[in-house]
Chains A and B, each alone.
Chain A
């Protein structure tokens, strides 16, 4: 009877309390441990303009209370019966915007039945003064082998939870969509590839999407990994001949390698494509291009050209750079920027911070497809001192594809630390000296969202603008005629154009 009365009283107290309750808990026992939060939002630095960091308290209990406090403004107090802490967006925005550049504390209280409340050690976090880019674009797909069914490129508003599908392959005969690429917040440029029956490369313009067929008869392989020149006039692509193989044993399931690769330059306005005639290209595989923010240097990864018989685990890429000549003909000898081979590693995905100070790349034991490499880590190269080192944000699992925000203070990357298979978007703050903080996962409305997630957030890319499009608009572009790129020996000598096919 007493139990029933106590239960009724508890229910009454809960019903009478609102989602946010500022009542302080005076009578509690203190625990010596920190609470387990899922996702782990402890000891992290977050931007002030991010969505509420909803989480679950992974501690046994029947009643939970969280109090968030900082120097400025009222704190946030939330009660929960199941440990799910869903923070009201309005209060959160008010809280974070008033406490830019300050620390904040999360006090977690847990009560089991009639026992006293337990107060765990406070969780300390920081709200950075620098904002994060407002949008995150990513491809959502099964982290599988070679087949796909439903694929989409989505946009997530980082300040809220709104997600919008920009492209989905069901509108385009289930073709594969990939390699979405922005111009690092400098312009409104965007492109993506579609492979298959209605394939092409789609450039985002004021009038929608322009479908282009970049492959010309002079090109041995199709255009793959793109990077926009900061001016928005050019895009450099690597052209790759890729193979995929499957391991019969061990943790690594898939290996992707290039058999050949080189770089080409595309003039967006004129739709002309030309070979980048880098010295030494014949005996090399060049891939993963990147521009310096001033557009004067082109960085890329280079490995010796493999022979017919080769050891896949011995292919190692180093980082090079060359001065950019818009004619496409770059005769200067590429300079070795980072020699990964000497430390038994291989470089991929070089990305330069907008101020040109740092270059972040992925490093793995071999090859150029690190998402399947458990040992893959992010390294930071200081371009002034040319010193490189492993970033603090890395985990013991795959830390790969990354994108830097337009102010250079935030990095989002694909991390598999939760289950070693599904890549999730983790974000970290990078200070002016290049030091990164403990990464946190992109917050979701449902704190349990990632627990059941079987699809990967592939190629997470920050962006400063919203693509005004939807799959319907893209469908129109997909089924429209493609503009055929023209091949030229160089941009400057227009007479050298070799083909003028157009559909």
Chain B
């Protein structure tokens, strides 16, 4: 009885131990994606909008590889929550490793784990690159899954079944099918003794037929699309190399199954110690990859973008104050946050700026990353039509994204185009995780009162440009000028105009337009405007550039004296005074005017 119990316990513990490396692998990746690298999930989830509808399904899967695209879209939408997104990635990689291991066992009878885990680690490394999408891993997973199924059922039609199913597999997975084809060819070469040539030639004939027929009569796509779509080759050189290496490693699976690696037999370990050692090594590898791959800059940038989408402008400013950034897009978001909180000309120089205005606004470019974001500047300055255009053009070029469609809805609602807004809301309602947002926005349809009383939409409607002009997308500041010509009470546009004047050190403009602050209802000048006016006054031999009622604060006057004192202490030598001035006055217009 006791020995029976012992045997059962042994079996249970062996089974548990056999799972241990997978558990370690899964848990390591899960923790990393959930708690450390949520920014990768955030970026990818925001890159496309998955619509859960029959129309979307039929539209997507009617192209070669459409099934992988659809499945990948569905699973990527779970990235909305870091925990569920982490499960999706970690599980995909772990399953790949698991299937590879079982495939090797089926092929060679060896319980070989090195290749499966090396592949898993390579895939993990790939997934730490935010531009590497789930689709590639999913495409590979489906190929090895089908290959495993083929070798398990090889007795049925001796490999012919796999060849017959090639068109179906191609239709479902597109260009990923090459992984399966090479696996199959290698398998025939190494594991079949007869009729290898007919089988292999059948594969080539069939594939040529598939491409010929589908290219000419069914899908009407060009050769490169037919051959490789929807595989996305990573842009980063390292990721591209890793992706190629991983694919080759997987393709060589049948060869690895027949080759004996002497080094593997070098260590003679017990079953349990081998499993524990393997798990420990895996854990170390996962940890190393996690440390090596974490990108602080990407993390910070996407964190700011997340806060921006949530319209947490105060948090953005705080975060950027604590984590100063040189990224121009981060600074672009930060300046919008400053503008939204009416601090643009108080804190502009507390952050890095460029004199060409690139941190204030983005110039029109048919590039997704620019199109996706550039419209927010127009949205905040009341140029609702222009904000709409940027969002719309991005959707035409790159497809729907959650934030893109939200921008379309908001701009249509602000512009009282309720019927189109309703159409977009209907689409948003068909998503998995944006239903609530759609319902929230739906309440504004055909309800001007609700729109006007909403903080964001109401302000948008109030400040939207009413006096029409043709936009000049190559020169955003001209648009701002035209906005304030037509609506002199648009605070945000005026704020941007003055910020640009500060960046350009346009003293004439600053002197001439300072009076506008009174008209806009300001009780005091923004700090940088005070600084500019004091500097102008000094340049004009104490003659004030501003003749209105607003007073320059005592604090700014004292700081100006302080600034000049330091300057004089260094013998009026700008170079010598620079370190001291940077330390005390680096966040002032004076420092910018002197040194930038």
Whether the pair A145, B389 counts as a contact (CB closer than 8 A) is yes
Residues of chain A contacted by B266 (CB below 8 angstroms): none
CB-defined A-B contacts under 8 Å, sample of 5: A170-B222, A171-B220, A248-B483, A249-B467, A420-B419
Whether the pair A420, B392 counts as a contact (CB closer than 8 A) is no
Given A419-B419, A419-B423, is A247 in contact with B470 using a C-beta cutoff of 8 Å? yes
Whether the pair B366, A471 counts as a contact (CB closer than 8 A) is no
User: Of B55, B217, B389, which contacts A253 at CB under 8 A?
Assistant: B389
Question: What's the Cα separation between A258 and B479 when bound, in Å?
Answer: 23
Residues of chain A contacted by B468 (CB below 8 angstroms): 247-250
Question: What's the Cα separation between A9 and B392 when bound, in Å?
Answer: 50
Chain A residues 395 to 425 lying within 8 A of chain B, measured CB to CB, are 418-421
Interface string of B415-438 (1 = CB under 8 A from A): 101011001001100000000000
Chain A residues 238 to 271 lying within 8 A of chain B, measured CB to CB, are 245-251, 253, 255
Whether the pair A452, B423 counts as a contact (CB closer than 8 A) is yes
Interface string of A468-498 (1 = CB under 8 A from B): 0011100100000000000000000000000
Question: What's the Cα separation between A472 and B225 when bound, in Å?
Answer: 14
Interface segment out of the listed B127-135, B171-179, B380-388, B503-511? B380-388
A206 within 8 A of B: no
B465 within 8 A of A: yes
A144 within 8 A of B: yes
Chain A minimum-CB-distance residue to B220: A471
Question: What's the Cα separation between A171 and B215 when bound, in Å?
Answer: 10
Give B361 Cβ to nearest chain A Cβ, in Å.
Answer: 15
Interface string of A143-160 (1 = CB under 8 A from B): 011111100000000000
User: Of B222, B393, B470, which contacts A144 at CB under 8 A?
Assistant: B393
A451 within 8 A of B: yes
Whether the pair B396, A144 counts as a contact (CB closer than 8 A) is yes
Chain A residues 423 to 458 lying within 8 A of chain B, measured CB to CB, are 451-452, 454
Chain A minimum-CB-distance residue to B221: A170
Given A147-B366, A249-B465, is A451 in contact with B426 using a C-beta cutoff of 8 Å? yes
Residues of chain A contacted by B427 (CB below 8 angstroms): 452
Whether the pair B385, A246 counts as a contact (CB closer than 8 A) is yes
Give A304 Cβ to nearest chain B Cβ, in Å.
Answer: 21
Whether the pair A249, B216 counts as a contact (CB closer than 8 A) is no
Residues of chain B contacted by A119 (CB below 8 angstroms): none
B406 within 8 A of A: no
Given A451-B426, A452-B423, is A249 in contact with B466 using a C-beta cutoff of 8 Å? yes
Main secondary structure of the interface of A (DSSP, over half): loop
Question: What's the Cα separation between A471 and B216 when bound, in Å?
Answer: 8
A165 within 8 A of B: yes
A-B residue pairs, 3 tightest by C-beta: A471-B220, A419-B419, A245-B470
A299 within 8 A of B: no
Residues of chain B contacted by A451 (CB below 8 angstroms): 423, 426
User: Of B216, B221, B393, B469, which contacts A145 at CB under 8 A?
Assistant: B393
Residues of chain B contacted by A227 (CB below 8 angstroms): none
Whether the pair B215, A248 counts as a contact (CB closer than 8 A) is no
Give B385 Cβ to nearest chain A Cβ, in Å.
Answer: 5
Give B321 Cβ to nearest chain A Cβ, in Å.
Answer: 34
Whether the pair B417, A420 counts as a contact (CB closer than 8 A) is yes
**Given A247-B385, A248-B385, 9 other A-B contacts at CB below 8 A?**
A144-B396, A147-B393, A148-B396, A165-B220, A170-B221, A247-B470, A248-B386, A452-B426, A472-B217
Chain B minimum-CB-distance residue to A421: B420
Whether the pair A472, B419 counts as a contact (CB closer than 8 A) is no
Residues of chain A contacted by B388 (CB below 8 angstroms): 253
